[in-house]
Amino acid sequence: MSSIDSVLTETRVFPPSDAFRLQANVSGLEAYHTLCEQANNDYEGFWGQLAREQLSWHKPFTQVLDERNPPFYRWFGDGELNVSYNCLDRHLPLLANKLAIIFESDNGTVTRVTYAELYRRVCQFANGLKSLGITKGDRVVIYMPMSIEAVVAMQGCARIGAIHSVVFGGFSSKSLQERIIDAKARLVVTANEGVRGGKLVPLKATVDEALAAGGCDSVERVVVYKRAVHEDGPWQIGRDIWWHDLVKGKPEHCEPTWVNAEDPLFILYTSGSTGKPKGVQHSSAGYLLGAINTMRWTFDYKPADIFWCTADVGWITGHSYVAYGPLAVGATQLIFEGVPTYPDAGRFWQMIEQHKVTTFYTAPTAIRSLIKLGGDLPAQYDLSSLRLLGTVGEPINPEAWVWYHEKVGGGRCPIVDTWWQTETGSHMITPLPGAVATKPGSCTLPLPGIQADIVDEAGFPVENGKGGFLVIKRPFPSQVRTLWNDPERFKKAYFPEEYNGKYYLAGDSAHRDEQGYFWIMGRIDDVLNVSGHRLGTMEIESALVANPLVAEAAVVGKPHEIKGESIVAFVVLKGPRPSGDEARQIIANLREWVGSEIGALAKPDEIRFGDNLPKTRSGKIMRRLLRAIAKGEEITQDVSTLENPAILQQLQESV
Ligand code: PRX
């Protein structure tokens, strides 16, 4: 990625202002180092104290960390609590009338919900779930638009100990079906439609399609929230039930189901290096502790904040920093249904002005596209309420960072570039905004208690300045517990034997500068990062070869100005290599095909046809050559091991 090259030469440093530092929850570098030392000197004591202070327990834990069965670590393992209780009930004595959610719909309608009202809605929905026979440990798939109801559905599951699995509304019926089958969901919660950028998204129809495709016998009921006023589609009597009918007349109190600290709160599917998505399973207590700590540390949470994380609840960011973290600390948060560019590229700035947002957290890809579509627009709005900015999901190029800092943050707001993953549950490496000086493009230093390091193949730390594999050397409370249905894959994917099964291997490469700051360089596996979304190249390849025309496919990433990475597919058809209009038509069809197999986000940006793919004599596809071809680079690598060197020229010419 070109931005990575420029990142390497970045030398600007932005220390926290005195004004910010003095009011910060962690104030000054020394305070940060003190926390790190406390964690290093007494690891369990450090986490145990945080868990006692920050979480409300039904039954206190007596053991902090249980490492007897690595890498299946248990945290606070004999404690009992309820996540929804921690997000709602415990705030009611003091914060009942505080706004929990300010919801702005696609067309700008605003709905406000207090903690007392949210509590009622969650309880009614939880009672609705119970009336359908859903109990602790059952899986509920949530396929919803951004809405108050999406949060209510997640919290409602947490309240009764049901395990939710949210599937992003942009995924296709096939992806949805796969996840429903893998999770053996008893219930699907959806909306008749979603609305984004003025367009309707047919969610219920997609659920119908997924369930009709077979294999989803576990699903008994489908709860449908009525969002849009569009005509209702087909209705399966006995299976489908309107949300408003389900909650009608249900009691406004629902005793939380107390669960073990380690009982799963949710499963969230994400891409790995094989075709099959991984069901990342998170715990209840450790996960929530991570979300709370980082609300306080990274986002320097203060009760007067208006917090806005723009992520969809279909991703981990929307779990930790929409559905759980902000509520667990009693924050007022903004939730947005729509897209940043509708009705124009000033939407985010207009909303920040209108709702007096103090803390704004979004993805570099959104920043880059807003720079492109309206770099001067922030100046037209009053953004003086902002005090802290954040980014997540991919490396941010210094130019975008500086624009964000100046044009959006008015030069006064620290930027927290937060490195973490679906698997880590909460931030791992990020500046503490009142303590750590920032450098554009660096996620800076690990949070207290997070033993991040960069090591070589044998597990030895690499020197500063040298690239290596990003690992976390000790278990931490919010980490993935296992992969749903696949503990073996969990071990193999994250705790490789090269590191004696001890280090958590993040799957990213990184290096440190002379001050020990971390700079993320990219994935080491076949995972792409397209607009901050994780996609496996194998997933897209499997989708392509499932098309009857396709014999073989290889997918690689290519640097992209806005999306970070774009998807390039090299395809060998069963028939002759097409050209001209025929090729264009097949490309259009294949893009649609991948859209329906996985979701629009996975459609290749470019498809090239060849008679074959570059392979070694043992039949291995040489992806590094394909990456070079995709970038339009001259091939300087050794190609003597290639079975069919002539194919390179053909693919280069096949644009
Ligand atoms: O490659 C890293 C990149 O996103 C990956 C995790 O993707 P996902 O599980 O979908 O979670 C995204 C939201 C937490 C990482 O392995 N990544 C995430 N944050 C950053 C990042 N790369 C660079 N800088 C970041 N701040």
Residue 478: C-alpha distances to residues 14, 58, 294, 322, 629 (Å): 29, 20, 11, 16, 40
Q: Check if 419 has its Cβ closer than 6 Å to any atom of ligand 1.
A: yes
Compute, in angstroms, the gap from residue 534 CA to the centroid of ligand 1. Answer: 8
Q: Check if 537 has its Cβ closer than 6 Å to any atom of ligand 1.
A: no
Residue 620 pLDDT? 87
Q: Which residue ranges are tagged as binding site?
A: 196-199, 317, 393-395, 417-422, 508, 523, 531, 534, 545, 550
Question: What is the distance between the alpha carbons of residues 175 and 144, in angstroms, rounded to a whole number?
Answer: 15
**Is 549 inside a domain boundary?**
yes
Compute, in angstroms, the gap from residue 628 CA to the centroid of ligand 1. Answer: 24
Pocket test for ligand 1, best of 472, 520, 524, 531 (most atoms within 8 A of CB): 520
Atom number, ligand 1, closest to the C-alpha of residue 417? 26
Domain total of the chain: 1
Q: Check if 316 has its Cβ closer than 6 Å to any atom of ligand 1.
A: yes
- Taken in order 145, 147, 153, 155, the sign of the CA dihedral is positive
| Domain enclosing residue 647, as ranges | 531-652
Which residue's CA is minimally distant from atom 11 of ligand 1? 421
Output the six-digit token pair for 267.
């499963």
Question: What is the distance between the alpha carbons of residues 265 and 260, in angstroms, rounded to a whole number?
Answer: 10
Question: What is the distance between the alpha carbons of residues 267 and 139, in angstroms, rounded to a whole number?
Answer: 9
Residue 153: C-alpha distances to residues 122, 136, 464 (Å): 7, 15, 46
Unique residue bearing structure tokens 């927290």: 416
**Is 171 inside a domain boundary?**
no
Sheet bearing 482-483, strands edge to edge:
240-242, 221-225, 187-191, 139-143, 163-166, 266-270, 278-282, 482-483
Residue 8 pLDDT? 55
Compute, in angstroms, the gap from residue 507 CA to the centroid of ligand 1. Answer: 10
Q: In 3D, which of 418, 459, 461, 410 has the Cα closest to residue 438?
A: 418
Model pLDDT for residues 35-85, shown as the tens digit of each residue: 999 999 999 999 999 999 999 999 999 999 999 999 999 999 999 999 999
Contacts of 113 (CB under 8 A, 6+ apart): 99, 100, 101, 102, 103, 121, 148
Helix pair 43-54, 285-297: axis angle to 10 deg: 90
Which residue type occupies 446? P
Q: In 3D, which of 77, 449, 101, 128 has the Cα closest to residue 284?
A: 77
Pocket test for ligand 1, best of 320, 401, 529 (most atoms within 8 A of CB): 529
**Is 138 inside a domain boundary?**
no
Question: What is the distance between the alpha carbons of residues 529 and 423, in angstroms, rounded to a whole number?
Answer: 15
Contact between 550 and 574 (Cβ < 8 Å): yes
Which residue's CA is minimally distant from atom 5 of ligand 1? 421
Residue 559 sits in a domain of what CATH number?
3.30.300.30
**Is 44 inside a domain boundary?**
no
Contact between 102 and 355 (Cβ < 8 Å): yes
User: For the purposes of burial, counting CB atoms within 10 Å of the CB of 473, is it exposed (0-12), middle (13-18) or buried (19 or more)?
Assistant: middle
DSSP-derived secondary structure letter, 311: -
**Is 609 inside a domain boundary?**
yes
**Is 381 inside a domain boundary?**
no
Residue 9 pLDDT? 63
Q: Which residue ranges are tagged as binding site for Mg(2+)?
A: 545, 550
Q: Which residue positions in the chain have pLDDT lower than 50?
A: 1-7
Which residue's CA is minimally distant from atom 2 of ligand 1? 394
**Is 599 inside a domain boundary?**
yes
**Is 312 inside a domain boundary?**
no
User: Quick one: how many helices (H) and strands (E) in the chain?
Assistant: 22, 30
Pocket test for ligand 1, best of 320, 404, 421 (most atoms within 8 A of CB): 421
Q: Give pTM, 2 decimals.
A: 0.96
Q: Check if 346 has its Cβ closer than 6 Å to any atom of ligand 1.
A: no
